[in-house]
Copies of this chain bind each other. A is one copy, B any other.
Amino acid sequence: MFFIGIGTALLAAAIHFVVEKLAHFKFDLIKHYFDDCAKNNCLYQPALIWMGINLVITVAGASLVTFLQPMAAGSGIPYIKAYLNGVKIPGLLTFRAFVAKTLGVVLSILGGLACGKEGPMAHSGSIIAAGLGRGRINFCGGKSISFYSVFRNDHEIRDFVAGGAASGVSSAFGAPIGGTLFSLEEAASFWNQDLTWRVFFSSMVACFATNFLISAINGDPTKLTDPGLIRFNAFKFDLKFDLIEIPFFIFMAVVGGLSGALFVVMNYKLTVFRKRYLNKNWIKVVEAGLVAVVSAAVAFGLLVGINDCTDKAPFDSHAVTAAVYCTDKKHNSLSTLFLTTPEGCLKALLHDPFESHNPASLVAFVLIFFVLGVWTYGLSVSSGVFIPSLAIGAAWGRLIGIGVAYMMPDNPNLQLDVGKFALIGAASQLGGILRTTISLTVIIVECTDDISFGLPIMIVLMISKWVGDFITTGLYDMNVEVMGIPTLPFESPPLCEDLRASDVMSAPLATFKTKEKVETVYEMLKDETFCGFPVIEDDSLTTGKGKLKGLILRSQLLVLLKKKIFCPEGQVPPRNITIKDFRDFYPVYLKVSEIDLSDEEKSYVIDLKPYYNPSPYTVEKKFSLSRVFNLFRGLGLRHLIVTDEKNVPVGIVTRKDLAKFRVGSKRGLVKIEQLKIQDK
């Protein structure tokens, strides 16, 4: 857990450093051409350079993701949520995914896409954790270096991944508590105090190490003033609030909820459209390139079109400011928003002094960033949606702040408060898009670094969530749904009380006897895709019926066959295998096709007795569905054997059988859908 924290922090600091340096270089270059060409009438030059840089870098990033590991697309958080919920997702935690994700997010940001690096950090942290847990690196050719193997089982790896995700969030936002909650909230079924402490420890280490490294990059390692990649806390005034302001905040929360829901709906339509028509790899890459060029073109157009000159120095002294047509040492205020990374843009919106940005340019910014945000999320690039959401919200929050300040010109404090309104706007927009669960609330409060002001932020997040939930599900849940991942909700669907286990189970059932012919096992594994098989009593008269003895996993059977743990009937098997042999094959499961058996071997007998699990969880077939649900959620099961009254297995319930029943509550109506689950 310690090394997970350190690893994540190193990664975070490295990404931060590389992105900042390269982005600064890029925008400096563009600014240079801008300022030169505004005088010499050659503005096509910066436009072409800008679009060209964006296109090349984004296409590189999109190709990396699309061809190396498509799992690395998007923020990764929906996948991590599903994984912690108990779903196996092949390829999610591999070295390839790590490369695609990490390099990909650097390229996406440099490519000028409206995206952040916070979601990908959680994913990368998880991969680091899984890698450390497995103690093995797999290379492309199937070769691997193995260090240790004690942690190689699903349960341990899941715990590590929980720690990794927490560390990722923690080092991204400097929010150790929020990060811990984030991963525990998703893994709630398997929560226990011990795990909590371990996860908390790793996210503390991550936060601390990130703080140290970034402070070191900034020149003073012992000051420890930068706990995360992004902070909202640099306000020049105290964040105080008065009861009188609460109605304003509530109004903003409602706006955030509505616009968040609009974001989700638009992105949903787009995602479905993409799934249906844009599913070729080259199309994906082309689309990403197109978005990058359009982003640059639109930003260029705004910079040239809106001549919003200001002489207020921007908050960030390193910000790139382009004059364009402005004179007298003024600069175009939009340049501080567009000639920077999305994070820099967010900072500018929160902290720039009053009157830095005029309302017209803010309106244009909101509209354009909203559309670009919707378009970008779901591209086949590594990208997070956190920062763009916050930036959109900060922009319209600032707009409202300016409006309030103009309405009450006799209160000079309100001019200082635009940053406060921007912060509230950012929070409510984020709440509306992601339907922030409690962990995200904590993350934002930790980012703000001021708990008294946490209260209005919490209220705003809660209300924007309610408003948004009334219209659609959150963005991540929408993602999970569209991808067809069988996650289980927290509560059993309310209207399925009358259903029984026998109504949802998969039957007929493939079972094994405690001693089984090798050929039977082999053929069964070839024919069926089940992950677990009930083992039944030997001496049953009818085929395939007999009292339940236990459960054996597909992966165990494959290892037994591969290692040839069988012998002619009546003989003692040549040797036993130990848990280490099973671990050697974790998590790269064998395929049936990799097993070679001679005809003689096929007639041998395999004794399952030492290997099957003698106490699998079972239910009677008349058991109510809602209680089956509770068992799955409460114990994190993947399969549950259904037996009849005589303890003879008659079927098996898997996650997919349960996830079929999903209840949507939309616009106040409750409906039950039976989903089609994608088989992978």
Q: Which residues of A pack against B, CB within 8 Å?
A: 176-177, 180-181, 185, 188-189, 191-194, 196-197, 200-201, 204, 207-208, 211-212, 221-225, 227, 233, 241-244, 437-438, 441-442, 445-446, 449-452, 454-455, 458-459, 462, 490-491, 547, 614-615, 617-620, 622-624, 627, 630-631, 633-635, 645-647
Residue picked from A188, A207, A491, most chain B C-beta under 10 Å: A188
Q: Can you list 13 pairs linking A and B with CB atoms under 8 Å apart?
A: A191-B191, A200-B441, A204-B459, A208-B459, A223-B242, A224-B242, A450-B451, A615-B619, A615-B627, A617-B631, A620-B647, A631-B634, A646-B646
Shortest beta-carbon contacts, A-B, top 8: A192-B490, A634-B634, A222-B243, A615-B623, A634-B635, A449-B451, A615-B624, A188-B191
CA distance A534 to B202 in the complex (A): 46
What are the residues of chain B within 8 A of A201 when measuring CB–CB? 462
CA distance A180 to B184 in the complex (A): 14
B449 engages A196 (CB within 8 Å)? no
How close is A213's CB to chain B, nearest CB, in angstroms? 12
How close is A217's CB to chain B, nearest CB, in angstroms? 15
Given contacts A194-B491, A233-B452, 11 further A-B contacts (CB under 8 A): A176-B454, A176-B455, A185-B193, A193-B490, A197-B462, A200-B458, A547-B645, A615-B619, A617-B631, A620-B647, A647-B647
CA distance A620 to B193 in the complex (A): 29
Q: Which residue from B437, B491, B623, B630 sits with its C-beta under 8 Å from A196?
A: B437
Q: Which residue from B243, B441, B630 sits with its C-beta under 8 Å from A224?
A: B243
What are the residues of chain B within 8 A of A615 when measuring CB–CB? 619-620, 622-624, 627
What are the residues of chain B within 8 A of A200 when measuring CB–CB? 438, 441, 458, 462
A176 engages B438 (CB within 8 Å)? no
Q: Which residue from B192, B450, B631 sits with its C-beta under 8 Å from A491?
A: B192
CA distance A458 to B185 in the complex (A): 20
How close is A37's CB to chain B, nearest CB, in angstroms? 44
Residue of B at shortest CB range from A626?
B615
CA distance A446 to B445 in the complex (A): 10
Q: Which residue from B547, B614, B627 sits with its C-beta under 8 Å from A617?
A: B627
A458 engages B176 (CB within 8 Å)? yes
How close is A287's CB to chain B, nearest CB, in angstroms? 34
What are the residues of chain B within 8 A of A193 when measuring CB–CB? 185, 188, 437, 490
What are the residues of chain B within 8 A of A438 when measuring CB–CB? 177, 180, 196-197, 200
What are the residues of chain B within 8 A of A242 when measuring CB–CB? 222-224
How close is A484's CB to chain B, nearest CB, in angstroms? 21
How many copies make up the complex? 2
What are the residues of chain B within 8 A of A189 when measuring CB–CB? 634
Residue of B at shortest CB range from A195?
B490
Residue of B at shortest CB range from A465?
B197
CA distance A241 to B441 in the complex (A): 26
CA distance A207 to B633 in the complex (A): 32
Also in contact, A194 and B646, with CB within 8 A (given A244-B222, A438-B200): no
CA distance A624 to B242 in the complex (A): 59
Q: Which residue from B181, B614, B619 sits with its C-beta under 8 Å from A622?
A: B614
What are the residues of chain B within 8 A of A227 when measuring CB–CB? 452, 455
A211 engages B627 (CB within 8 Å)? no
CA distance A222 to B246 in the complex (A): 10
What are the residues of chain B within 8 A of A619 when measuring CB–CB? 615
What are the residues of chain B within 8 A of A458 when measuring CB–CB? 176, 200, 204
CA distance A620 to B233 in the complex (A): 57
What are the residues of chain B within 8 A of A222 when measuring CB–CB? 242-244
CA distance A194 to B227 in the complex (A): 31
What are the residues of chain B within 8 A of A180 when measuring CB–CB? 438
Residue of B at shortest CB range from A177?
B442
CA distance A446 to B204 in the complex (A): 16
What are the residues of chain B within 8 A of A233 when measuring CB–CB? 452
B624 engages A204 (CB within 8 Å)? no
Residue of B at shortest CB range from A452?
B449
What are the residues of chain B within 8 A of A623 when measuring CB–CB? 615
CA distance A167 to B189 in the complex (A): 24
Residue of B at shortest CB range from A634?
B634
What are the residues of chain B within 8 A of A204 when measuring CB–CB? 455, 458-459, 462
CA distance A241 to B598 in the complex (A): 70
Also in contact, A630 and B635, with CB within 8 A (given A177-B442, A221-B243, A222-B242): yes
Q: Which residue from B191, B490, B618, B622 sits with its C-beta under 8 Å from A194?
A: B490
CA distance A180 to B631 in the complex (A): 25
CA distance A458 to B5 in the complex (A): 15
Residue of B at shortest CB range from A207?
B455
What are the residues of chain B within 8 A of A208 when measuring CB–CB? 455, 459
A185 engages B177 (CB within 8 Å)? no
What are the residues of chain B within 8 A of A454 when measuring CB–CB? 176-177
What are the residues of chain B within 8 A of A212 when measuring CB–CB? 243
How close is A227's CB to chain B, nearest CB, in angstroms? 7
Residue picked from A180, A437, A618, A634, most chain B C-beta under 10 Å: A634
How close is A286's CB to chain B, nearest CB, in angstroms? 39
How close is A119's CB to chain B, nearest CB, in angstroms? 20
CA distance A441 to B446 in the complex (A): 14
